[in-house]
Each structure stands twice: as C-alpha cells, then as structure tokens.
Structure 1
Amino acid sequence: MKKICVTGGSGGAGNAVIEHLLAQGYDCVNIDIKPPKTQHCPFIEVDMTDYKAVYEAMAGCDAVVHFAGNPEPDFDHWESADRFNNNTSALFNAFNAAQAHGIKRVVWASSETIFGFPFDTNHQERLPVNETSEPQPQGGYALSKMISETLAEQMAKLYGMTFIGLRLSNVLYDDVNAVPSFQKIPGYWEDMPYRKFNLWGYIDSRDTARAARLALEADISGAEVFNIAAKDTLMRQPTKELVDTVMPQSKLDPQITGHMALLDCAKARDLLGFEPDYNWQDVLGLTVDGTRKGDA
C-alpha cells in the first residue's frame, strides 16, 4: 500500500493527513472540489457527488482516506437536507469507486455527533461514551454519519473490504485564523454550557492525521469504528464539575477524575495503537488553570 487517495485533502484535516502521510513515505493524491492553499501532492478537482469523476480520479490508488464533505453540523431542516444529501452521496461514491477499483481499505471521517450533538433535548445516560454507547443522531449531518457506518458494515461483507471509521471529536488547529482554533479555548471557560454540545472534547489536527495513518496500517478486517479525541476536555473546570452542573441527568463513571475526556478512546488505543500526542495546554503554553506556563 503506497499511493493513498485523500478526498477532501484541501481542507484542514485532509491537508494534515496528506502532510503526515507524505512524511511517513506514502504517495498521495488529493481529490477535492477546491484546490489546496499549498499543493503538497498531485491535485484533481472533483465534485464528490459526481460518481464518474470520483471513479476516474481514484484510479491507481491503493487505499482511500475519505475526509471530503461539508463538516458543519446543521441547525434547521434546510441545512439538514443539504448535509445529508451532499455527505451521504459523497461517501457512497468514495466507497463504491474504491470497491470498483479493487481497493481493499478505506478510512473515513465519521463523527462524535452520532452520540447526540447538541444534547439539547436528549442526553447520554452514562459518561464517558464509547463505541457501544447508544447512537442518538439529531440532524442531517449526524444521520449521514450514522448511515456511513451502516454502509461500511454492509459493503465490507459484500466486497470483502476493510472500512475504518474515525469518530472524530472537534478538530482544532494551532492557527489563530482557523475557525476551530486552539486560541479560542480560553474564551469558553466562563460559559460551561456552551461546549457541552460535544462533551467539551477536541482533537488536534495532527493527531487526527496520525489516527488516519494508523487505521491504514492496522491489522484489522471488516468494518470498525473508533472514537478519536484528546485525553482531556478543553475546559479548566474539572470534568465532574462540568457534568454535575450542566448534564446532571447523565451518570458519570467514578473513575473519571481531573480533566479526563468524556469520549472514551480505549478501543483506538488497543486496536490502532493510537494515543494523542497533543493537548491544549502544550499548544497554548498554559497550565490547566489558565496561567502562563513558567509563571510564578
């Protein structure tokens, strides 16, 4: 497995995947509807809802990392229709073109939103959530991700392929100009309910890229999904305080102490060998209470 087709490689997470794979000795081709800001590998302009274009662009690849799609959750029925139609069509085209070319491994971006984002009218009975927790998709985006996991299961059986879905937490970037940036984190601390929509979680884009590469290399067959998140929350308040104050309906595992994350990634650790390398404190140079590291 040498040449990897990365769909959505012009986006933030897709670009991070390409940079990481190239550094690890892989060849990549980026297929996206828009060109990248910096071209690291061959780029083919493709609308992922155009199956013929996807099929042609994927020729000669050994594996696929599918990160294309609209990453924004939806908040009304118009947006819901757009997210579901676009993302589901793009995903099926990526999966179907892969099988038509005889490609046996596909890694793709599923989502933590499957667990119930934004937790306005629902809640998880137990926290943290793991891959066996009840799916509670609340909109078109999350439903498209739920469908993607079912589709992967069926196509794995039908075609003898391996599909690995990464249930990514909110991907953050060490870039003040990025919409989801680490630099925004201190602004969340005075409003505990604001970030409950994804259980106060996050994942560094570089860890996202490494998780994708480990999924490409893992000794796994069939269809699997994995939670991918940092080990901690992005809040300065302890996790128990967050849950007790904002989500008292949910029962917190007593083993969750300090600032431990509410997205359990034990399965990724055990089967992919994935441990996150980055946390917001190191990226921002802050301690967990928000003071500058090294200050007295």
Structure 2
Amino acid sequence: MKIAVTGGSGGGGHAVILDLIANNYACVNLDIRAPKETLCPFVEVDLTDYRAVFKALEGIDAVVHFGGNPNPDNDHFGAADRFENNTLALFNVFNAAQARGIKRVVWASSETIFGFPFETSAPQSIPLTEASIKQPQNGYALSKVISEDLAEQMAALYGMTIVGLRLSNVLYDDETAEASFQKIPGYWADTGSRRFNLWSYIDSRDAARVVRLSLEADLDGAEVFTVAAPDTLMSQPSRELLATHFPTAEIAPEFGGHDSPLSSEKAKRLLGFEAEHTWQRVLGVTRD
C-alpha cells in the first residue's frame, strides 16, 4: 500500500513515516516544508489549496493526516488563524480522498477537546473516555471538535473509514526537543505545571504505531480513539494530583496509583493498542 502522510516533515509525521516504512509500507510526505531527513518521496503541498491536495493524492491507497498548525492559540487572532487553517486543510484532505476513491483516512484529533488548558474548565469524571463531554476552550480545540463531526458526516456520505486519534502530548526521546522525555523530572516540584493536559503523555513511537494499527484495523465509518501512556509523568499519585487541582471530579473506583486520567481502553479493545514506551523505560529511572 502507498500511504500519503500529510505533515510528514513534523515530529509526529516523521515518526509515522519511520514506522510505516519499517513495516513495509510505501510512503509519500505531503508538507508545506521539506523534511530535515528524507525518508521517502516529498511533495511540497499547501493543504489549504484544494487542487494541490487533489493532485497530490493521485495513486494513493490511504491517507494519514497530521498536517496543520498544532499550537493551541492564546488570543482571538491565533484562534481565527488556527481554526481556518486546520478545518480547511482537513476538509480538503477528506474531500480529495473521497474523490480519489481512497476509503481510509487516519487523522490527528486532540486531547484538547476535553478542556485544555483546564484553567476555567474541569473534568467532570475520571478517567476521560471517548464518551466524556467535550469542553473545547480555544480555536484549536474547536477545530478538532468540528473536524470530528465532519469526519462522521463524510464517512457516512462516502462510505469511508475515518479514524481520529485524540493523541496526548507527544514526547520524544531527544533532549534537544521541545517536548522531551528528559524534562520530566523537572516537572515534579510543581504539580500545576502539567495540569493543562492532566499530566498525560504518549511516546512518539507509540503514537506512530497506533496510526498503523488504525490503518490496518477492521473498522467501518468514523471512529475516535483517545491515546495516552497508561501512567502520568508525575511522581505524585494520580488521586493526589486530582484532589489538589480538580477536587470536584468524580473518580472511578478502580482508578488509582499513577494511572493516566486519559483512558486508552477503547484503543486497546478495537485496535489492539497498548503503549510500549513509558517515561520510566525511556529514561531508565523510577519515580523514587
């Protein structure tokens, strides 16, 4: 199969291409900028240009859509820019895919729909699942909510399988990366420093693997999956963190230890996914 990966020059897209190539898929990287490392053919594409997207998807069997502006916005100008860019790019990819007869698209939704950065919102119940209420707080998160709705409608309209992955904060085993595993011990002194996404994370390699599993799984229609490592990246127990920062949240009886407040049980059940790379394994240390 030949897979088009939009945003393949970014960190997450790069990890996806690495994993797909290692598992005998052919890839093409569709991005507005060239990659630092060329792993597969690269096509420069502005995803907001529909004709360019349609042309780039010729001869493609499936699409992984990671392209877009990944930064949550901090003001109304940023909100407008990110919403316009992300929703238009996503529609163009979905629409060009259906026009090309492509029946499977896997795309990056986001954990932000749950209430990121949890400054004026709070989770009602823990753990959060695909059935939890959506509380988008900015233009970026709103674009993801609208995109999930769009995926549902277009999958039904065109008989496609469209899989949205609500990925937690993707971390890299690279001390030079902005989102680096090596920074984790520095978070422990301030429990509020990572409350913005409920102290959760996912290794880039696990994020890439869940993409591949989503391409291969026996699924129909539109599906969304929350994807996170099974634990938090904090040294404090999860119930202690929640009691301090979200005391009104209703916590499931079985939730405890250092469990992540983001549940990946649906991904485990339908995709066979379990995270393999915890921060302790990556860093070779323990919470003690």
Calculate the TM-score normalised by the size of structure 1.
Answer: 0.96
Q: Is 1:71 matched up with 2:78?
A: no
**Higher mean displacement: 119-128 or 11-20:** 119-128
Shift of residue 254, structure 1, vs aligned partner: 2.2
Give distance in 1, aligned partners of 2:155 and 2:136.
23
The match for 1:23 is 22
Give distance in 1, aligned partners of 2:285 and 2:269.
30
> Aligned letter for 1:170?
N
**2:168–2:201: 8 Å Cα contact kept in structure 1?**
yes
* Aligned positions of 1:104-115 closer than 5 A: 104-115=103-114
Give distance in 1, aligned partners of 2:270 and 2:258.
24
> Aligned letter for 1:123?
A
The match for 2:246 is 247
Shift of residue 252, structure 1, vs aligned partner: 1.7
Give distance in 2, aligned partners of 1:184 and 1:88.
32
Give distance in 2, aligned partners of 1:149 and 1:95.
12
Q: Equivalent residue of 1:47, what SS?
A: coil
Q: Equivalent residue of 1:53, what SS?
A: helix
Give distance in 2, aligned partners of 1:39 and 1:78.
34
* Aligned positions of 1:147-166 closer than 5 A: 147-166=146-165
Runs of 4+ residues deviating >2 angstroms: none
Shift of residue 138, structure 1, vs aligned partner: 0.6
> Share of identical aligned residues, percent?
65
Q: Equivalent residue of 1:219, what SS?
A: coil
**2:123–2:246: 8 Å Cα contact kept in structure 1?**
no
Q: Equivalent residue of 1:278, what SS?
A: coil
Shift of residue 82, structure 1, vs aligned partner: 1.1
* Aligned positions of 1:12-91 closer than 5 A: 12-91=11-90
Q: Is 1:285 matched up with 2:281?
A: no
> Aligned letter for 1:87?
N
Q: Equivalent residue of 1:206, what SS?
A: helix
> Aligned letter for 1:258?
G
The match for 1:215 is 214
Shift of residue 223, structure 1, vs aligned partner: 0.3
The match for 1:172 is 171
Give distance in 2, aligned partners of 1:223 and 1:149.
8
> Aligned letter for 2:80?
A
Q: Equivalent residue of 2:211, what SS?
A: helix
Shift of residue 195, structure 1, vs aligned partner: 0.7
Shift of residue 26, structure 1, vs aligned partner: 0.3
Q: Any idea what the Cα deviations from partners look like across 1:247-280, whole Å, max 9, x if unmatched? A: 1121222211110111011000000000000000
The match for 1:140 is 139
Q: Is 1:100 matched up with 2:131?
A: no
The match for 1:118 is 117
Q: Equivalent residue of 1:193, what SS?
A: helix
The match for 1:183 is 182
Give unmatched runs, 5+ long, in structure 2. none
Q: Equivalent residue of 2:191, what SS?
A: coil
The match for 1:294 is none
Give distance in 1, aligned partners of 2:254 and 2:261.
11
* Aligned positions of 1:219-230 closer than 5 A: 219-230=218-229
Work out the number of aligned pairs and report it: 288
Give distance in 2, aligned partners of 1:99 and 1:50.
16
Give distance in 2, aligned partners of 1:70 and 1:171.
15
Give distance in 1, aligned partners of 2:174 and 2:50.
34
Give distance in 2, aligned partners of 1:235 and 1:251.
20
Shift of residue 113, structure 1, vs aligned partner: 0.4
Calculate the TM-score normalised by the size of structure 2.
Answer: 0.99
